[in-house]
Amino acid sequence: MSTLQVIEPSKAKVMAEIPRAGAEEVDAAVARAKAAFPGWRAVSPGDRAALLRRLADALEDALEDLARLEARNAGKPIGDARGEMGMVVETYRYYAGAPERLLGHTIPVAGGVDMTFREPLGVVGLIVPWNFPLVITSWKCAPALAAGNTIVLKPAELTPLTALELERIALEAGIPEGVLNVVVGPGSVCGSRLVEHPDVAKIAFTGSTEVGCGIAAAAAGTIKRVTLELGGKSANIVFADADLEAAAASAPGAVFGNSGQDCCARSRILVERPAMDDFMAALERAVTAIKVGDPLEESTGMGPLISAGRLEAVGSFVPDDAPVAIRGAAPSGPDNPGYWFPPTVLAPMSNDDRASREEIFGPVACVIPFDGEEEALRIANDTIYGLSGSIWTRDGARALRATRALETGVISVNSNSSVRVSTPFGGFKQSGVGRELGPDALDHYTDVKNVFVATD
Ligand code: NAP
Ligand code: MG
């Protein structure tokens, strides 16, 4: 095997060297998962639940170490990383409740008894990005294991370290050998081998819409089940009757969180014209208060971007003549070699501008003015994406009307939150197929079997 150098983006320095797998290692991992499947599906629902709870406890014991590792490798503030590890633990605990609740139906029919069962799929392939490595892994791993599947997990090459820890911790917690297998290698080699592999029943993918497109096409060759969590260009709609201070205080976190490398980033801030000046003044106070710096420093609010490539891509959205209305501070100069980019607000923007149309995946927000509800909804829906979004208003009827009219999988009113363990998460339009979290996710890790028994 060749070697993979794992980079710490706040220092632009190698933090670990690990073996780098190829297609052969994927085949071996699939074979291990296939061999482990009959045993794992036969574990009683109560015992499977107990093992998931033990895994959650073991991850909780390791929470601080995992948070520090993720903070360094993904360049995220340590406080955020702790929050993410908390959600990881919560996700395994939540799905520990599932094995004993995977209910079927009995259906009245003529001549006998009819019933349905929720059967595991077999070996499932999980392909995960670098922005929320262990959290997104848990959204897939926990329901997959709960439903009785075995797993081959391919983390992103940029951030493989917590996935390797998960593999070790799962074994120690008693998850049987072969049930959870991690393969670290390039997406173009290891990811695509997993997608084409005839012994893999399903691919659960989170990443870019471009790669997701290729995965959906390649998976068709073996009629694999596919769920896709893809990109976004979500709208944060602020009506003039809203609590503008609250909306402006919350807006920076909703687009600059994780340095803007968040599929849920509300990167188009739509502001009703009469509120524009007051909102921008409050937004400026909030943005310039963000402390950008060392991810391990407790007071840090935003870290670096993940890579030099991302830095260049994000920079292309802010050319010299861009209408920069607000720019925060970020480390710079030869003493700060990390991949730093300041939180940046472009205003006023049109929804037709490139920065308003493409997913930037960096700390750049576009403020787009609008006149009235109809125009707000038209602009918000004028995108190929449909992942998240928010509406800020004190008018309850308008809030309900607008939430129904928006073409998006997740929407919040007077809040910018997107994700809870117990509620479904996923995209409309080109933001994806299927749902993660909540009870809905289990549908995507099981097939329905119908059984008829003649009694007459
Ligand atoms: P990406 O380039 O699509 O990569 C995602 C994963 O797919 C990585 O593990 C990557 O491996 C692998 N991969 C790359 N090419 C592949 C191929 N041909 N076949 C199979 N697997 C392949 O995305 P990213 O740049 O890491 O992440 C950013 C994107 O993810 C954004 O568009 C963001 O919106 C999206 N995202 C969506 C959600 C959501 O829940 N909707 C959440 C987070 C992120 P390597 O990188 O190791 O090569
Ligand atoms: Mg990529």
Which protein residue has the closest C-alpha to ligand 1 atom 32?
Answer: 208
415 and 434 part of one domain: no
Ligand 1 binding pocket, CB closer than 6 Å: 127-131, 136, 154, 156-157, 186-188, 191-192, 195, 206-208, 211, 214-215, 229-232, 263, 359, 361, 387, 427, 432
Q: How far is the CA of 227 from the centre of ligand 1 (A)?
A: 13
Which protein residue has the closest C-alpha to ligand 1 atom 27?
Answer: 207
**153 touches 190 (CB < 8 A):** no
Query: In which region does residue 432 sit, left (phi positive, over 0), alpha (psi from -120 to 50) or beta (all else)?
Result: left
Which protein residue has the closest C-alpha to ligand 1 atom 41?
Answer: 229
Q: Probe ligand 1: pick from 135, 192, 206, 387, max atoms within 8 Å of CB? A: 206
Q: What is the CATH number of the domain that holds 312?
A: 3.40.309.10
448 and 359 part of one domain: no
Among 120, 121, 108, 119, smallest CA distance to 452 is for 108
Shortest-distance ligand to the CA of residue 206:
1
Q: What is the CATH number of the domain that holds 10?
A: 3.40.605.10
Instruction: Write the secondary structure of 249-295 as one string of H (helix), E (strand) and C (coil).
Output: HHHHHHHHHHHHCCCCCCCEEEEEHHHHHHHHHHHHHHHHCCCECCC
- Contacts of residue 421, defined as CB under 8 A and 6 or more positions apart, other chains included, come to 87, 90, 91, 94, 437, 438
- The yes-or-no answer on residue 263 being catalytic is yes
13 and 95 part of one domain: yes
Q: Probe ligand 1: pick from 127, 136, 184, 360, max atoms within 8 Å of CB? A: 127
Tens of pLDDT along 270-301?
999 999 999 999 999 999 999 999 999 999 99
Q: Which atom of ligand 1 is nearest to the CA of 432?
A: 41
53 and 202 part of one domain: yes
Measured distance CA(290)–CA(302) in Å, rounded = 7
Q: How far is the CA of 186 from the centre of ligand 2 (A)?
A: 10
283 and 390 part of one domain: yes
Q: How far is the CA of 131 from the centre of ligand 1 (A)?
A: 9
Which protein residue has the closest C-alpha to ligand 1 atom 6?
Answer: 129
Confidence of residue 202 (pLDDT cuts 50, 70, 90): very high
Measured distance CA(102)–CA(145) in Å, rounded = 13
Q: How far is the CA of 65 from the centre of ligand 2 (A)?
A: 26
pLDDT (0 to 100) of residue 321? 97
Shortest-distance ligand to the CA of residue 226:
1
Tens of pLDDT along 142-173?
999 999 999 999 999 999 999 999 999 999 99
Measured distance CA(444)–CA(242) in Å, rounded = 38
**Is residue 348 reached through a cis peptide bond, with omega within 30 degrees of 0 on the bond before it?**
yes
Q: What is the pTM of this model?
A: 0.97
398 and 261 part of one domain: yes
Measured distance CA(150)–CA(30) in Å, rounded = 9
Percent of the chain, pLDDT > 70?
A: 100
pLDDT (0 to 100) of residue 290? 98
Tens of pLDDT along 356-403?
999 999 999 999 999 999 999 999 999 999 999 999 999 999 999 999
Q: How far is the CA of 205 from the centre of ligand 1 (A)?
A: 8
130 and 262 part of one domain: no
Average pLDDT over residues 83-100: 98
Average pLDDT over residues 405-420: 97
214 and 77 part of one domain: yes
Range of the domain at 141: 2-230+430-454
Q: How far is the CA of 207 from the centre of ligand 1 (A)?
A: 3
Average pLDDT over residues 43-70: 98
Measured distance CA(54)–CA(385) in Å, rounded = 38
pLDDT (0 to 100) of residue 109? 98
391 and 435 part of one domain: no
Beta strand extents in 312-378 (DSSP E only): 324-327, 344-346, 364-370
Q: How many domains does the structure of the chain reveal?
A: 2
Among 163, 193, 195, 197, smallest CA distance to 181 is for 163
Structure tokens at 295: 């991810």
Tens of pLDDT along 299-338?
999 999 999 999 999 999 999 999 999 999 999 999 999 9
Which protein residue has the closest C-alpha to ligand 1 atom 30?
Answer: 207
221 and 334 part of one domain: no
60 and 200 part of one domain: yes
366 and 436 part of one domain: no
pLDDT (0 to 100) of residue 1? 77
Tens of pLDDT along 213-234?
999 999 999 999 999 999 999 9
Q: 141, 190, 263, 264: which one is catalytic?
A: 263
